[in-house]
Structure 1
Amino acid sequence: MKKITLMCLAILLTVLGANAADKIDLKRLTQGEFSAHRISGIDPLAGTDQYAQISQDGSQIVQYSFKTGKKTGVLFDVNNTHGEKIKGFDGYQMAPDGKHMLIRTNTQMIYRRSYKADFYIYTVDSHKLERLSAGGPQEMPVWSPDGNQVAFMRDNNIFLVKLLYDNSESQVTTDGKFNEIINGVPDWVYEEEFAFNSALTFNADGTMLCWLKFDESKVKEYSLQLYKGMKPEKKEFELYPGYYSYKYPKAGEDNSKVTAWSYDIKSHKTQQLQVPMDEDGYMPRILPTENPEKILVYTMNRHQDVLNLYTVNPRSTLSQLLIKESVAKYVKEEAMEAIRIGKDYILMPSDRDGYMHLYLYSQNGKLLRKIGDGKYDITKVYGYDEKTGDVYYQAAPLNPHDRQIMVTRKNGKTVRLTNQEGWNEAIFSGDCKYFVNTWSDINNPYVYTTRNNQGKVIATNLDNKELRAKTRQYGWTKNEMFSFTTSEGVKLDGWMVKPANFDPNKKYPVIMFQYSGPGSQQVVNSWNAGSMGQGCAYDQYLAQQGFIVVCVDGRGTGANGAEFEKCTYLHLGNLEAKDQVETALYLGSLPYVDKDNIGIWGWSYGGYCTLMSMSEGRPVFKAGVSVAPPTSYRYYDSVYTERYMRTPQENAEGYADCAISRADKLHGALLICHGTADDNVHPQNTFEYAEALVQADKDFKELFYANRNHGIYGGNSRNHLLRQITTWFVDHLQK
């Protein structure tokens, strides 16, 4: 009996220990404890059913078949090269002919999308590895169409390497200068808000180089103060801080003057291309076509409600308007970014009819047909099969939170290629015959399958069963979708995570998370949902602390059509804040919600909306946390801000209604956090807002993270930040 009792006790202690261990640990969460396995780096090879991918150990670039998933060859092996030797690599760029590739090493990030690195030319057949240049790190190299030349940038200038002439290097431009003239790569605001990192291309026969030149000499500088810090240390700033100063055009201020240029590689003649553009307009792309006598240049007016596509002859420099896209309020950046250029077509997304659909044009600018006619958005463009006329894309036909892979045939018939509700993404083979489908929903992590272009599943590549089991082991609760209608008659959708062992007869404190920015979505039926992604891992952690966690997308967010998305135009933060307040009022009406203990938080635009909501006038929030917020859109960059607000000179009233002007109306306990090296939303925003709170005699707490940028990561930073957020809500909503 004694032995049985001891055995039972041991089992009980083991069970209790297992249960204790199965609580989510915040530090392990921020270190990736609940990160899903992903299949990444699939690089379709043009015109084939093959793709390239870096091996799991990072030592090879391997070729695979889409159809079978089997390896069909090794394109590069770091341990099998002739000439130069390297220990590892960070990435690669295939030459168009497949005979060479650029191997990238020692990558140093500059901003969000830009980087410099040491590149090597690799010849696939001979395994020969050679330095691209011995003159220092290179930025954003570009192959010529025949694979015999590489152009790249260094120190704001363009250089050219010819493989057929023993990799001889020549300098194309000489006027490049930091913070004054940039050749071939975009300036900070173009990179950030027009989402690209290269402004250089060859023409179709490789005889001409064409690029954009950014004259940012009149753009005002912003200086970030840098400290010694830790992980990493900047020892040069141990006693006296240093500065990083760069050109950052704020709303209503001078932008770079952008021009397009060409260079004849044989004659060395450089010419400015004659592209019509407003004096204060934008030139956000320069792209090749299949015709050596034509390149494409995009222009936009400063209001960003007109997008022009010009064909330009790089030799004569003359341009011709091909397509003019003009829509109410603004052309979405995502639509401009998603334009696809083919041999005989241009595929352009547009919300001109109220929803984002696709418009197929000939290379001469003639509208051939429209793809999509339902009251739902097409959200990604995957490709156009010129042989069959089939257009492949992602869309939201079921509801705004769902994504399906679709094809529209040449005859107009539309077919859904995915068969499961949730969030579907695709990578199509170069011949459009196969695609790798990634599916997840808000409660199930990613499943990867290979399908043919009829949607038939050929193989399951990855299913994340282990992670799904781990979420059960750690007591994750089901994330529930819901909808309600505000007092203004607006239907809003959200998701809710409840604590385990939820008792409907008990009243729980609530933490609301939101982002709320134009065109964004946080309420998605995807494993990427949640304040920190990872299937709402951090939100599940908060639920284990006894909170209900809620997210609602208000007016201005995406996939509900242009009217819903663009209704916040000229008054960012006003309607968004009203909708978050309405959400709190709705939640407070539920029998299991403690209406006197509701908090709100957000990051970036979400931090801004947190402040606007806490000072909306209706005192529904007891506490809030604002991370890296723009507190006045006078401080934010020109391209993003003016897209939605026009300039301060034109819209003084809209700019005046901001978090700073509402500081005296702040209600609730506020924690505000910012990285001191935030090059995107400058710490100036928090400094000035804090001063406004002081003068309004409002109590608050602020935290700064030395040398951290907008993402506040590195070392223990993210773990520390999330712990402060958690503690803030525990202290103010549960005590």
Structure 2
Amino acid sequence: MNEDNITESINDFLENNDAENETIIRMDDDTELFINNTDEEEEDEENGAGYVMQPPFKKTGNKIKIYALTGLLSIFTIIVIGLFLDKGKTPGPILSGKQRIEMKDVFKLRPSKNPVYWFDSGEDGTVIQVSQKGDIELFNIISKEVKIVASMQDLMKGNNKINLGFELSKDTHYLIIPTFSKTVFRHSKIQNYVVFDCKAKKYLDFKNELNNISNIEFSPSSDKIAYVKNNNMYYLNLKTGKSVQITNDGSKNIFNGISDWVYEEEVLMSSKAFWWSPDGKYLGFIKFNDTNVPEYEIPVYLDNNLDGISYNAWKSIKYPKPGFPNPDVNVYIYDTTKETRKKNNLKKVVYEKDYEFQPDNLVILQVLWATEDSKNLLIRTSNRVQDTARLFSVNIPHEIETESDITKEKGTFIATFLKEDDHDDDGWLTRTESIYFVPPNGYIEIMEDKNGYEHINYYPDIYDEKSMFLTSGEWEVDSISGIDKNNKIIYYISTEEGSMQKHLYKVNLNGQRNIKMTPPVSEIEEQKEIINSFGENLSETGVFSASFSPGFNFYLLNYDGPNIPYQKILSTQDSYDDFHIDLSNNELLEKALSNYDIPKFHRFEIPINDYTVNALAIYPPDFDENSPKKYPVLFHPYGGPNSQMATYNYQFDFDSVLASDPEHPMIVVIVDGRGTALKGRKFRVSVAKQLGKLEAEDQIKAAQYLQKLPYVDEDKFAIWGWSYGGYLTSKVVEANSGVFKVAMAVAPVIDWKFYDTLYTERYMKTLKDNIEGYKQSAINNVEGFKNVDFLLVHGTGDGKIHFQNSALLVSKLTLKGVNNYTVQFYTDNDHSMVFGNAYSQLMNLLTEFLHEHLFKEKKN
């Protein structure tokens, strides 16, 4: 990996600085474990920096020692320090004396996070890990027993390394190991795979059958592998070595079992679009037909050596925009138990008449096997604008003798209508994936109650609309952490303590005994005030997440702030009352922070009319509200529908660096206005059909509220944002309020006609039905741009928010004679700006632009 590639990878990590992205894993509860050591976000396409994981647990006598996983983060931390140091100088101690946070320190001040990979081995509390020797092993946290699944010595016989991850079958018989990986879109890759037989201790010879694979997954029965190759669906029988091609129409327009671009980005949030039945007999998958979806062509100016090419190339993406066709989508089900009856094995799902959405008005939101075998497949669909959802069930007979036993329509399964959900406002369905199977034949759904707050609704019988809400109140359920079917307990994360916090709770399926599980009592007593929050008691405040062992006797608890993050493994059982493992306390991070003058963080609410908005302010380390000193203020919104930025998470990032600058100190403020998440439906959908209007009003009113504070320089307010935040920044400038004097927009939407359908029409409805709303939501009146110093940044290769947006804005500014703006484009860069050192240069550009324009003296 050369220095340019290292820099690109570093920049990528700086851009995607959410802790959940540090190590990406996929865990399928009833099938297998896939450990993937490459970043699934916009990563360096040419070089994935792999690593050999070190065990979080090691048996030594009667004690368990905890080892941090030394992964990409650790490697990159070392590299980052080197790259940001001035070349030619001899670096002194990295952490010496009290110092202010700079960009080079951001990695050093990120917490370590050790993933725990629970594995269902029959003995609860078993995890899978890679030993220091490189062996893949199972380790039980109670018995401390170690079972080697595959030794590094055997794995290396085929000259293969597990630095790109591996997938282990449920019966531990087989391993799938990627040997090559190339990123396609945000969540998709093309990879080559080999299969290792752990019992025979050898690689199976499938020639090149598993090369150029888009998605791959073991069956729950461990004897088959489903995969997508060249947009066709296959499965491989590991016992016979026979590969079966399920579809043969895959092409640039037809996607079988793999998402097209818009579904990957906006609905499934994954490229995988196939699902094994729990017993491994059937495969359900979606076929995407993009034949009628227009192509968007993105120019490519540079070759692999960053040299220009005489005639630029073009990169084409099937990209539906408002007013144009969406992909046609259909669900198919394949029976893998009858390889001799290929013709009849594949069945299309058709929806019960009178309840189906027409093809041009259909979105498939979720496909879920709601069964412990293969009897029932749930399909959740919506109309094109995603304000009405319909739930269907496909009942699959196990013994099919004639077509009439399957359906009245030859060659298909009928999906029976179960229920419909809609609202009488102009809003949208908050979640695309909202349903979770509850054995033996029920499900829970996170949905809005009659008061508009998202809660857990339990349906004991799939075929009965009778249900009961297990939770209630003016707060919302954020996610489901686990469903303990044996004890009939739902574990979930919610905002009961406040919409900026997330705590772990449990509730019985009868709706009784709603119990808060965080923070652990020991942590309430041990918490130190490391992060200055103006005297606020942080001991019982926090953002938590959890993952449970298969038997639900143990769980990994992640504390993500506001104080120093930690990880513990705890037990749900009274018999293990004193059991805990301190997996990560981030003691080194705590020690490192003691060498810095760190900024001060304050979470609060700002009253606006009859509602409040959440806010996070980051103050300079030496801030004193009683001092006569007045500070400039920088707003940094995102503000998109269902998003959230003002939280109690631990964070040191670009905003912290700006607030810490001793020569140019400022207060950085994040405001989550109307439209953002976890404050109820009324607050959330108020922006429907008029994106940008209310969000901009809230940023302006929040700024006017802060202007009245005695330590704020009311004449020095700036605003910046990226993506939707860039759009919101531009809408604030368009409003011409006079509050903000400097604005910086990175990769903004300028007109919603230019963005994709499944996002835009969810919030704006169709262009035909809301043409005036689209006009008002676009940046049209540029008079306000004459009154700010404006910076516009965009990558020419942005496949998400196309460069045409910024090109249009520049044209509008030019036509109206606006001159006080600066434009910076980055050649061939996508939405994350990680190519060719762009991100580092961008951070410098934003910083210098603020220093030059926000801190300039007022003219007399």
Whether these two folds match at TM > 0.5 is yes
Q: After alignment, is 453-462 or 647-656 more displaced? A: 453-462
Report SS of the residue matched to 2:226.
Answer: strand
CA deviation map 1:560-613 (0-9, x unaligned): 111111111111111110011112111211111111111001111111110101
Residue of 252, 276, 282 corresponding to 2:363: 282
8 Å Cα contact 1:161-1:169 kept in structure 2:
yes
Q: 1:580 aligns with which of 699, 706, 714?
A: 699
Inter-CA distance 51–557: structure 2 relative to 1 (3 Å threshold):
farther
- C-alpha change, 1:490 and 1:293, in structure 2 (3 Å) is closer
The correspondence for 1:597, drawn from 696, 701, 716, is 716
Structure 1 residue 233: deviation in Å? 3.3
* Residue 22 of structure 1: how far off its partner (Å): 2.6
Q: Which amino acid aligns with 1:145?
A: P
Contact 2:289 2:328 in 1 (8 A): yes
**Partners of 2:92 and 2:619 in 1: CA distance:** 24
Q: Post-superposition shift, 1:714? A: 4.2
Matches within 5 A, 1:457-472: 458-472=580-594
Partner Cα distance (1:53, 1:543) in 2 = 47
Q: Deviations over 1:307-338 (max 9, x none)?
A: 22222245621221234333454554545256
Stretch moving more, 689-698 or 338-347? 338-347
Greater mean alpha carbon deviation, residues 394-403 or residues 44-53: 44-53
Equivalent residue, structure 2, for 1:226: 300
- Could you tell me how far 1:497 is from its partner in structure 2? 1.6
Q: Indicate the SS of the match to 2:433.
A: helix
1:34 aligns with 2:157: no
**Is the counterpart of residue 268 in structure 1 residue 342 in structure 2?**
yes
Match of 1:7 in 2: none
Match of 1:5 in 2: none
Contact 1:499 1:544 (8 Å CA) reproduced: no
Cα distance in 2 for residues equivalent to 1:284 and 1:264: 23
Distance 1:716 1:202 in 2: 42
Cα distance change of structure 1 residues 557 and 204 upon mapping to structure 2, 3 Å threshold: closer
Match of 1:321 among 417, 433, 436: 417
Deviation at 1:72, TM superposition (A): 3.0
Provide the rounded CA distance (Å) in 1 between the counterparts of 2:658 and 2:230: 44
Which residue of 1 is the match for residue 101 of structure 2? 24
Q: Is the 8 A contact 2:453 2:475 kept in 1?
A: yes
For 2:652 and 2:748, how far apart are their aligned partners in 1? 19
Q: Is the 8 A contact 2:618 2:656 kept in 1?
A: no
Cα pair 1:89 1:106 within 8 Å, conserved: no
What amino acid does structure 1 have at the position aligned with 2:793?
C
Match of 1:55 among 92, 107, 130: 130
How big is the shift at 1:158? 1.4
Taking the aligned partners of 1:589 and 1:478, their CA distance within structure 2 comes to: 20
CA distance in 2, matches of 1:572, 1:710: 21
Distance 1:285 1:502 in 2: 49
**In structure 2, do the counterparts of structure 1 residues 84 and 336 end up closer, same or farther at CA, with 3 Å as the change threshold?**
same
Q: Deviations along 1:54-109, whole A, 9 cap, x unmatched?
A: 438694433233557x5633334443238633033322333243432322231212
- CA gap of 1:684–1:71, structure 2 versus 1, over 3 A, is farther
> For 1:238, what is the secondary structure of its paired residue?
strand
Match of 1:547 in 2: 666
1:525 partner amino acid: Y
Q: After alignment, is 293-302 or 569-578 more displaced? A: 293-302
Match of 1:294 among 376, 396, 408: 376
Deviates more, 1:599-608 or 1:611-620: 611-620
Q: Which residue of 116, 119, 122 corresponds with 2:190?
A: 116
Q: Kindly indicate whether residue 541 of structure 2 is the aligned counterpart of residue 421 of structure 1.
A: yes
Q: Distance in 1 between matches of 2:600 and 2:755?
A: 38
Instruction: Extract unaligned runs of 5+ from structure 2.
Output: 1-90, 401-405, 407-412, 520-539
1:141 partnered with 2:216: yes
Q: Secondary structure at the match of 1:254?
A: coil
Letter in 1 for 2:831: H
Q: Offset of 1:662 from its aligned partner?
A: 2.8
Alignment pair present for 1:678 and 2:778: no
Distance in 1 (CA, whole Å) between partners of 2:742 and 2:470 is: 47
1:365 equivalent in alignment to 2:447: no
Partner Cα distance (2:220, 2:165) in 1: 20
Q: How far apart are 1:688 and its partner, in Å?
A: 0.9
Q: Which residue of 2 aligns with 1:11?
A: none
SS at match of 2:594: helix
* Corresponding residue for residue 10 of structure 1: none
Distance 1:46 1:320, change over 3 A: farther
Equivalent residue number for residue 388 of structure 2:
306
Contact 1:596-1:620 at 8 Å conserved across structures: yes
Whole-angstrom distance in 1 between the partners of 2:622 and 2:751:
43
**In 2, distance between residues paired with 1:731 and 1:284?**
47
Judging changes above 3 Å, is the alpha-carbon distance between structure 1 residues 386 and 41 closer, same or farther for their aligned structure 2 residues?
closer
Cα distance in 2, alignment partners of residues 104 and 45 from structure 1? 23
* Match in the other structure for 1:481: 603
> Please, which moves more after superposition, 74-83 or 422-431?
74-83
8 A contact 1:492–1:554 mirrored in 2: yes
Q: Distance in 2 between matches of 1:544 and 1:714?
A: 30
User: Does the Cα contact within 8 Å between 1:29 and 1:537 map onto a contact in 2?
Assistant: no
Deviation larger for 322-331 or 427-436? 322-331
Shift of 1:698: 1.5
Q: Is the 8 A contact 2:100 2:662 kept in 1?
A: no
Residues 676-733 of structure 1: CA distance to partner in whole angstroms, max 9, x if unpaired?
Answer: 2211111111111111111121121111122222111245322211111111111111
Determine helix, strand or coil for the equivalent of 1:318.
Answer: strand
Cα distance change, pair 94–477 in 1 and its aligned pair in 2 (3 A): same
Structure 2 counterpart SS, 1:546:
coil
Q: What amino acid does structure 1 have at the position aligned with 2:684?
A: E
1:170, CA displacement in angstroms? Answer: 2.7
Q: Within 2, Cα distance between the matches of 1:573 and 1:169?
A: 51
Change (3 A) 1:686 1:457: farther
Give the corresponding residue for 2:140.
65
RMSD: 2.7
1:378-405 Cα shifts (integer Å, max 9, x gaps) = 1010121111111000011111111110
Equivalent residue number for residue 191 of structure 1: 264
**Conserved? CA contact 1:557–1:564, under 8 Å:** yes
- C-alpha deviation, 1:373, in angstroms: 0.9
User: Which 10-residue stretch deviates more, 330-339 or 278-287?
Assistant: 330-339
Q: Report if the CA contact (8 A) 1:356-1:377 is conserved.
A: yes
Matches within 5 A, 1:606-645: 606-645=725-764
Question: For the Cα contact (< 8 Å) 1:378–1:396, is it kept in 2?
Answer: yes
SS at match of 1:716: helix
- How many angstroms does 1:369 deviate by? 3.0
| Matched residue type, 2:364 | M
User: Which of these residues, 379, 391, 403, is aligned with residue 490 of structure 2?
Assistant: 391
Conservation of the 8 A alpha-carbon contact between 2:101 and 2:598: no
What is the CA–CA distance in structure 1 between the aligned matches of 2:199 and 2:443, rounded to whole Å? 35
Distance (whole Å) between structure 1 residues aligned to residue 393 and residue 172 of structure 2: 28
Q: Given the superposition, is the C-alpha separation of residues 132 and 614 from structure 1 closer, same or farther in structure 2, using an over 3 Å criterion?
A: farther
Aligned residues of 2:110 and 2:652 also touching (Cα < 8 A): no
* 8 A Cα contact 1:119 1:133, kept in partner: no
Residue identity in the other structure for 2:469: K
Could you say what secondary structure the match of 1:197 adopts? coil
Indicate which of 533, 556, 560 corresponds to 2:679.
560
Measured in 1, the distance between the counterparts of 2:439 and 2:311 equals 54
Does the aligned pair in 1 maintain the 2:744–2:846 contact within 8 Å?
yes
Aligned ranges for residues 198-209 of structure 1 at < 5 Å? 198-209=272-283
Residue 453 (structure 2) aligns with:
355
Report if aligned partners of 2:284, 2:334 keep a CA contact under 8 Å in 1: yes
Structure 1 CA distance for aligned equivalents of residues 247 and 306 of structure 2: 33
Q: d(CA) in 1 for partners of 2:663 and 2:578? A: 40
Contact 1:522 1:530 in 2 (8 A): no
Q: Distance in 1 between matches of 2:381 and 2:220?
A: 25
**CA 264–720 in structure 1, closer or farther in 2 if over 3 Å, else same:** same
Offset at residue 294 of structure 1 (A): 2.7
Deviation at residue 193 of structure 1 after TM alignment: 0.6
Q: Does 2:403 align with 1:403?
A: no
